[in-house]
Chain A
Amino acid sequence: MRLSYSTDIKIIRVPCTGKVDILHILRAMEKGADGVYLVGCLEGDCRYKTGNLNARKRVEQAGKILNNIGISGERVQMYNLSSGEGPRFAKFAQEMEERIKALGPSPIRTQLQNKEVA
């Protein structure tokens, strides 16, 4: 399909979004990621029944924590698609990129970079 999307997005493959723990999301943010999003199978289509539903709950929980500490919870998102929907994958990537660009760089990354320079 040769669809293009931002090269700023680093893809980490997991067997199922149910494998992604809230700590994986938080640690990524802690290390300076501007945002984290999960792309799972369509709801109701999980091979492991509830993996993608659990993932959504964890994303929501991570979002609440980020809001509570003054970092926008919008920086973490959950998306769903079927494996045949390449264009949708590219669309989600673009959507996430736009969202992050609107929010600006993560305050944590900014501080971590300032520290490195100092």
Chain B
Amino acid sequence: MIVAEKKPVEEIIEYVKDCNSVLITGCNECVTVCEAGGKKEVGILASSLRMYFVKEERDIKIDEVTLERQCDQEYLEEIRQYVDQYDAIVSLACGAGVQFTAEKYPSAQVFPGVNTSFLGVTMDRGYWTERCQACGECILAYTAGICPVSRCAKRLLNGPCGGSTQGKCELDPDLDCAWQLIIDRLKELGQLENYERLLPLKDWSKDRAGGPRKTVREDIQS
């Protein structure tokens, strides 16, 4: 899932302080699961903004809506009939949702309500960690299902580096060395020969380094 964090309310106040009407849009997908931009967070932000502007003697209309997804056209269409009534939209979706909203409604001012952080997993309630960098060429088959691209600070493909000490990364004594995890798991699986295999130079053009990416599937296009 895409993990995001709520932006401080002060920052959002700064965005919308000159508006007279604001629509806050949540997203029912990833940001709901990581409790940053779902229906609940939309309600909390709307309530906070209403209180702030009433206190400041400002008469601002603040409405709420939570869409199934903001990264799909059909769900974004749901707000088309009334989106013109607002001076600004604060989208609590990930960066993709915020941009798609802005793209779909070119005349609307769209502001982000969250900081999109990473692709990760839920370790526990309120605790998420990174697992994938969307590098475009998955090598997990050879690394015991542990990704050195996202979990090694240096993104080493044939690690570990000299900074690995007692299973921890030199960056942070609480951070596991991804390559130590890989070696330990390969050992457990009896696949240490995979560690001997030198991974070839990675084609980073499939990563962000190659510029913005797109996927076209002609077989399912209509």
List the interface of chain A (C-beta within 8 A of B): 22-23, 26-27, 29-30, 65-66, 68-71, 107-108, 111-112, 114
Which residues on the B side are within 8 Å of A112 (C-beta)?
A: 54
Are A69 and B48 also in contact (CB < 8 A) when A111-B55, A111-B57 are? yes
Residue B134 interfacial (CB < 8 Å): no
A107 touches B55 (CB 8 A): yes
Partner of A108, one of B13, B43, B51: B51
Q: List 9 A-B contacts (CB under 8 A).
A: A23-B44, A26-B51, A29-B51, A30-B54, A66-B51, A68-B8, A69-B9, A69-B55, A111-B55
Assign chain B's interface to a size class: 10 to 19
Which residues from 33 to 92 on chain B have a C-beta closer than 8 Å to any C-beta of chain A? 40, 43-44, 47-48, 50-52, 54-55, 57
> Residues of B with Cβ closer than 8 Å to A?
8-10, 13, 40, 43-44, 47-48, 50-52, 54-55, 57
B40 touching A71, Cβ below 8 Å: no
CA distance A27 to B47 in the complex (A): 7
- Residues A68 and B48 in contact, CB atoms below 8 Å apart: yes
Contact of B43 among A23, A66, A71, A114 (CB under 8 A): A23
Asked whether, in the complex, the Cβ of A26 is within 8 Å of the Cβ of B10, the reply is no
Whether the Cβ atoms of A111 and B54 lie closer than 8 Å is yes
Please give the distance in Å from B34's CB to the nearest CB on chain A: 16
Q: Are B9 and A65 in contact (CB under 8 A)?
A: yes
* Closest chain A CB from B216 CB (angstroms): 43
Residue in A22, A70, A107, A111 whose beta carbon sits within 8 Å of that of B44 in the complex: A22
